[in-house]
Amino acid sequence: MTTARLGSVRDVDWRVALRRYGWNTGVWLLLIALLVFYASTIPSFGSFQIASIAKNSLPLVFLAIAQAVIVIAGGIDLAVGSMLILSNAVAAQLMDEQAFGITLMVAVLVILMAAALNGAVGWVISVSKVPDIVVTLATLFIIAGLALLVLPSPGGGTSDGFRALFTGSATGTGTNFWPALVMLFVPMLGAAWWMKHSRTGLSLYATGSDPTAAYLSGVNTARAKIVSYAVGGAFAAMGGLASLAITGSGESRFATASNFTLKSVAAIVLGGVALTGGIGSVVGAAAAGIVLFVLSPVLSAMGVDPNTAQVIQGALIVLVMMIAGIVQLRRERAA
Amino acid sequence: MERRKTLRFAAIFAILALIAAACGGDEGGEGDGDGGGDETYTIGVSNTLVGNGWREQMICAIKAEATASGVVDEVVVINENADMTGQIGHIETLISQGVDAIIINPTDREGLNSVIEEAISQGIVVVAVDQAVTADGAFVVTNDQEEYGYLGAKWLFEQLGGEGNVVEMRGIDGVPADTDRHNGFMRALEEFPGITVVEETFTGWDPSVGAEQALNIITTQEVDGIWTSGIDYTVVEQFQSADIPFVPVVGADNNGFVEQLIELDGLTGAAVTNPPAIGGVGTAIAIDALQGNDPDQTTTLTPEVFDHTEQDQLEELYDPDQQVGWSTYVEIDPYTSYEASAVSACQGPGEG
What CATH number does residue B135 fall under?
3.40.50.2300
CB contact under 8 A, B5 and A331: yes
Cis peptide before A59 (omega within 30 of 0): no
Least-confidence region, from A12-16, A263-267, A314-318: A12-16
Q: Tell me: pLDDT of A141 over 70.
A: yes
Q: Mean pLDDT, to the nearest integer, of A195-205? A: 95
Residues 94-113 of B with CB under 8 A from A: 95-98, 108, 110-111
Does B2 reside within a domain? no
Q: Tell me: pLDDT of A253 over 70.
A: yes
Query: Same structural domain for residues B130 and B243?
Result: no
Q: Tell me: pLDDT of B37 over 80.
A: no
Does B331 reside within a domain? yes
3-state secondary structure of B226: strand
Question: Would you state the pLDDT for residue B34?
Answer: 41
Domains identified in chain A and CATH numbers: 46-334 (1.10.3470)
For chain A, give the mean pLDDT.
90
> Which of B254, B272, B290 is the endpoint of a domain?
B272
CB contact under 8 A, B20 and A293: no
Question: Would you state the pLDDT for residue B326?
Answer: 86
Task: Report ipTM for this prediction.
Answer: 0.84
Number of domains in chain B: 2
Number of neighbours of residue B319 by Cβ within 10 angstroms:
17
Does B60 reside within a domain? yes
Q: B254 vs chain A: nearest CA distance in angstroms? A: 23
Choose among A19, A30, A40: nearest Cβ to B25.
A40
> Which of B272, B289, B315 is the endpoint of a domain?
B272
Does B102 reside within a domain? yes
Question: Residue B225's domain spans which residues?
Answer: 145-272
Query: Same structural domain for residues B108 and B161?
Result: no
CB contact under 8 A, A249 and B110: yes
Query: What is the count of residue pairs from A and B with beta carbons less than 8 Å apart?
Result: 169
Does B27 reside within a domain? no
Does B228 reside within a domain? yes
Question: Residues 6 or more apart from A166 whose CB is under 8 A from it?
Answer: A55, A58, A179, A180, A183, A241, A242, A245, A246
Higher pLDDT among residues A87 and A153, named by residue = A87
Residue of chain B with shortest Cα separation from A298 = B93
Residues 53-82 of B with CB under 8 A from A: 74, 76-81
Contacts of B79 in chain A (CB under 8 A): 306-307
CB contact under 8 A, B89 and A56: yes
Residue type, B211: A
Residue B8: band (very low, low, confident or very high) from pLDDT cuts 50, 70, 90 = low
Whole-number Å distance between alpha carbons of B293 and A53: 35
CB contact under 8 A, A300 and B76: yes
Least-confidence region, from A289-293, B309-313, B322-326: B322-326
Please report, rounded to a whole number, the percentage of residues in chain A having pLDDT higher than 70: 92
Does B236 reside within a domain? yes
Does B13 reside within a domain? no
> Which of B251, B272, B293 is the endpoint of a domain?
B272
Q: Tell me: pLDDT of A203 over 70.
A: yes
Choose among A33, A246, A327: nearest Cβ to B85.
A246
Higher pLDDT among residues B22 and B329, named by residue = B329
CB contact under 8 A, A44 and B98: yes
Q: Tell me: pLDDT of B12 over 80.
A: no
User: Helix B2-32 to helix A306-334 angle, to the nearest 10 degrees?
Assistant: 160
CB contact under 8 A, A18 and B21: no
Choose among B14, B79, B204: nearest Cβ to A306.
B79
Question: Would you state the pLDDT for residue A6?
Answer: 46
When scoring B93, B121, B346 by the number of chain A Cβ atoms within 10 A, the one with the most, hence best to mutate, is: B93
Question: Would you state the pLDDT for residue B163?
Answer: 94
CB contact under 8 A, B115 and A248: no
Q: Mean pLDDT, to the nearest integer, of A82-100? A: 96
Residue B19: band (very low, low, confident or very high) from pLDDT cuts 50, 70, 90 = very low
Query: Same structural domain for residues B54 and B203?
Result: no
Q: Tell me: pLDDT of B4 over 70.
A: no
Query: Same structural domain for residues B159 and B259?
Result: yes
Contacts of A25 in chain B (CB under 8 A): 10, 13
Whole-number Å distance between alpha carbons of B302 and B145: 8
CB contact under 8 A, A52 and B97: no
Higher pLDDT among residues A13 and B47, named by residue = B47
Residue B17: band (very low, low, confident or very high) from pLDDT cuts 50, 70, 90 = very low
Query: Same structural domain for residues B155 and B110?
Result: no
Contacts of B20 in chain A (CB under 8 A): 33-34, 36-37
Choose among A18, A41, A247: nearest Cβ to B24.
A41
For chain B, give the mean pLDDT.
87
Query: Same structural domain for residues B281 and B140?
Result: yes
Q: Tell me: pLDDT of B258 over 60.
A: yes
Question: Would you state the pLDDT for residue A335?
Answer: 63
Residue B2: band (very low, low, confident or very high) from pLDDT cuts 50, 70, 90 = very low
Residue B35: band (very low, low, confident or very high) from pLDDT cuts 50, 70, 90 = very low
Residue of chain B with shortest Cα separation from A173 = B115
Question: Would you state the pLDDT for residue A11?
Answer: 57
CB contact under 8 A, B10 and A29: yes
Contacts of A302 in chain B (CB under 8 A): 27
Query: Same structural domain for residues B172 and B249?
Result: yes
Higher pLDDT among residues A262 and A21, named by residue = A262
Question: Would you state the pLDDT for residue A15?
Answer: 66
Contacts of A89 in chain B (CB under 8 A): none
Instruction: Give backbone dihedrals phi and psi of A281, rounded to 5 degrees, phi first.
Output: -150, 160
Residues 166-225 of B with CB under 8 A from A: 173-174, 204
Please report, rounded to a whole number, the percentage of residues in chain B having pLDDT higher than 90: 64
Query: Same structural domain for residues B136 and B149?
Result: no
Query: Same structural domain for residues B242 and B94?
Result: no
Question: Would you state the pLDDT for residue B329?
Answer: 86
Q: Mean pLDDT, to the nearest integer, of B1-20? A: 50
Residue B32: band (very low, low, confident or very high) from pLDDT cuts 50, 70, 90 = very low
Give the tens place of pLDDT for each residue, A290-309: 998 998 888 888 877 666 77
Least-confidence region, from A214-228, B42-56, B95-109: B42-56
**Phi-psi region at B326: left, alpha or beta (left = phi > 0; alpha = psi -120 to 50):** beta
Query: Same structural domain for residues B98 and B178?
Result: no
Query: Same structural domain for residues B112 and B172?
Result: no
Q: Mean pLDDT, to the nearest integer, of A178-182? A: 95
Residue B15 touches chain A, beta carbons under 8 Å: no
Q: A231 vs chain B: nearest CA distance in angstroms? A: 24
Residue A143: band (very low, low, confident or very high) from pLDDT cuts 50, 70, 90 = very high
Query: Same structural domain for residues B68 and B98?
Result: yes
Least-confidence region, from A162-166, B62-66, B325-329: B325-329
